[in-house]
Structure 1
């Protein structure tokens, strides 16, 4: 009877057809995405414009010596070709000396103040170069400029890494770095305009150093006041945004997230094979890059019967194309979360360009100019990808800051090499051959390193809990393991 009553009651319960309300939306997830989108927009607007403009000034002040050469620098100072090449190369010795100490200061002091100090000092030295009278004065100025600029690039690489997740980092570095190629375009236009200034009081190269150095001095004070120092203390973010920024960065790094300083962590960077592999990748790329940057006006001048002002103006298109290619490479590298294959593809374009410069007949001016354009695009576009690659693969702020400084410091030896390789004007067959070999060596190393990192990721996937505990113990515990933690995965 009880069962019959229950059945009767069940029949009396009215039923309605289900209403199709569409796909279920996770409101929390949507809110988080909107918060992250708003946060990234704030970060981009606050950090990138200032850093990009400062790097534009940095690259103008460092590379304008190539334009100054066409503005009469060699004749006025009675410089030989060898002396001029040493003035190019000595700049990078300053980099090698001061890169690592600068990043240590940056890690332990306020980044905004330190960046402001560096910008002011290199701007002052750039302007002082207008007063040099001989080889000794010029080479000393170039050395001090190298020392002052040394900390800026690796410092900004580290600085950006404390604000962005690994998958967001590549395109931000590409925005920042692309202004170096834009500096090349502006440098050519500015040099073309300055060449028209009467030389009754100052010579063309002196006006060049003064006009391009002054903005850096003025911007230094703005940078020190405007740039924030860390997500935890960023006043331009709301409390909710600050909390979210700290938590999402911690989640991105996982067990390798660590903000503390210790000398044991610092020393661990120099016991890591990745440090030396990335140094080699950086040296080979920088040798080709700086060789092209420093000698592009001379390379183009050797292609045809153009005057010096026209040669300056013709450097603009290669740099504009490099600016576009750099941003595309950074966006694509983040979009597909790939570094190595992007570098290989970019390098192949550069290798083709160098081969054209080496073997195309000198009478084919259009083809040779096209080759100069794609070479410039390649050597610039691969930089943000390789920078993102090594910053992504060193975890913990101490290891990342030290690795960034060390890799850029030693890798900048390539800049000193680049200042020497273009010795056989006007067609520079030898220089282009050396640059080709450097880019080829980098490409092979990229492929080998990617294979090693991929194999290591697969090995970590197969570790048992006991094996993971042993590896953590082997590297000194959770705090010291960093990217060597068995739960950390390398970016390929």
Structure 2
């Protein structure tokens, strides 16, 4: 009898994976290529053709993140109140069109406006998908799915240089290499947008690829997972409650410190590797592939293990410790030890990428009620993205980048300490709630405005550690 009950649930999760993950992962691969190809465009003659100074080019890199900060939160509000499939498709079409339009810019003004608009259109996609996946998966299943999704960003890093190398072989009689790059890498996003609108379902209640029985099982198991904190309705009071919750600001700090180290390594990895030996630009680009492949593998293993043991904090701490060792190696190993330093570069790349889906799963697991989760996700990612701008500034002391690696080390260390402190607080809160009497529970529900507003603050809700 137990087998008959469990089998449909297992089949449903597999069906969800096959329906949701391939298209979402592919879209994110395209998004990451479209945002990062400006670095390859630089090697393809962008600076010379547009007469850009180094300072102007750096502003074109940084302005992208201002778009994220502006539009992350509003995008998730729209995502919650409209059809997710249409909204994600619209974002995809928009950023793909802007990426292709960048091939036509003539000066610094045109390029920086396009980069700002690209950031605005891409801003809603990552937090939107984080929220979207939480609608479909139980908290114990969520981390591994986010890992699948996020790992395609490292694949974009691995393949970006290889794709750019192939595009560089296209004749430049009509268009420059950087123009071909923007057009060819932007076009797939435009084409995939239509598929996303038609193919992605919006909610378990309306999913046509599930039978009526499967829909009921899916809805039931999600309700059971969230318990008393499960709620799908919208209210501005519920939305405002996110910004009076200490967890929101704690997770913002965790996110921004991790993103500072991540983006610093991502933006400067070719330069870090280039400073290790006598390699030309093409060889340095090629040597960035193994670190990103390792990051792809490590991210998926970490996500699987985090869900398998239903743990977030200790997994982040373990991954961060590996990264801290890697940064110390880059800081103190003699520059003549090229092999050891390259190994350290691989280790830190894997670490800063692998902890992202776990921290994302952690804050999504601990905000309950779809409104609170959608708003918290958007706000945390929006503020955390400031780390992207910080990361672009910390690697200032080439070729060894001792100062940059020191700052990245400190960011990762600060995140690790905050992880442990937050885990202690959440664990203590779980124990406190277990000891509450029924009368005390009713008072706490009243204190937070009733069942509808309580969300994860409901006394029957247990935080994921």
Kindly tell me: are residues 429 and 131 of structure 1, through their superposed partners in 2, closer, same or farther at Cα, counting changes over 3 Å?
farther
Say whether 1:241 aligns with 2:241.
no
Report the Cα distance in structure 1 between the residues aligned to 2:192 and 2:119, rounded to whole angstroms.
Answer: 19
Say whether 1:55 aligns with 2:20.
no
Q: Deviations over 1:463-484 (max 9, x none)?
A: 1111111100000011110000
The equivalent residue for 1:19 is: none
Please list, as runs of the form range in 1=range in 2, the aligned pairs for 1:31-430 lying within 5 A after superposition.
31-430=4-403
The equivalent residue for 1:5 is: none
Kindly tell me: are residues 85 and 358 of structure 1, through their superposed partners in 2, closer, same or farther at Cα, counting changes over 3 Å?
farther
Secondary structure of 1:270's partner? helix
Kindly tell me: are residues 422 and 348 of structure 1, through their superposed partners in 2, closer, same or farther at Cα, counting changes over 3 Å?
same
TM-score (norm 1): 0.92
Secondary structure of 1:235's partner? coil
Report the Cα distance in structure 2 between the residues aligned to 1:72 and 1:262, rounded to whole angstroms.
Answer: 51
Structure of greater Rg: 1
Q: CA deviation at 1:56?
A: 0.4
CA contact (8 A) 1:121 1:148 kept: yes
Kindly tell me: are residues 436 and 76 of structure 1, through their superposed partners in 2, closer, same or farther at Cα, counting changes over 3 Å?
farther
Q: CA deviation at 1:103?
A: 0.4
Q: CA deviation at 1:66?
A: 2.2
Kindly tell me: are residues 74 and 422 of structure 1, through their superposed partners in 2, closer, same or farther at Cα, counting changes over 3 Å?
farther
CA contact (8 A) 1:391 1:404 kept: yes
Kindly tell me: are residues 72 and 298 of structure 1, through their superposed partners in 2, closer, same or farther at Cα, counting changes over 3 Å?
farther
The equivalent residue for 2:441 is: 468
CA contact (8 A) 1:66 1:297 kept: no
Structure 2: runs of 5 or more not aligned: none
Please list, as runs of the form range in 1=range in 2, the aligned pairs for 1:438-477 lying within 5 A after superposition.
438-477=411-450
Structure 1: runs of 5 or more not aligned: 1-26
Q: CA deviation at 1:101?
A: 0.5
Report the Cα distance in structure 1 between the residues aligned to 2:48 and 2:406, rounded to whole angstroms.
Answer: 29
Kindly tell me: are residues 120 and 136 of structure 1, through their superposed partners in 2, closer, same or farther at Cα, counting changes over 3 Å?
same
Q: CA deviation at 1:299?
A: 2.1
The equivalent residue for 1:7 is: none
Secondary structure of 1:362's partner? coil
Report the Cα distance in structure 2 between the residues aligned to 1:430 and 1:74, rounded to whole angstroms.
Answer: 27
CA contact (8 A) 1:39 1:241 kept: yes
Q: Deviations over 1:353-377 (max 9, x none)?
A: 1122222222222222111111110
Secondary structure of 1:378's partner? helix
Report the Cα distance in structure 2 between the residues aligned to 1:197 and 1:370, rounded to whole angstroms.
Answer: 34
Q: CA deviation at 1:456?
A: 0.5
Secondary structure of 2:244's partner? coil
Q: CA deviation at 1:201?
A: 3.1
Q: Structure 1 residue runs of 4+, over 6 Å off? A: none
Q: Deviations over 1:395-423 (max 9, x none)?
A: 00000000000000111111111122222
Q: Deviations over 1:237-273 (max 9, x none)?
A: 0010001101110010000000000001000000000
TM-score (norm 2): 0.98
Q: CA deviation at 1:293?
A: 1.4
* Higher mean C-alpha displacement, 369-378 vs 232-241: 369-378
Query: How many residues are treated as equivalent by the alignment?
Result: 465
Q: Deviations over 1:295-329 (max 9, x none)?
A: 22222222222222222221111111000000000
Say whether 1:485 aligns with 2:458.
yes
Report the Cα distance in structure 2 between the residues aligned to 1:368 and 1:482, rounded to whole angstroms.
Answer: 47
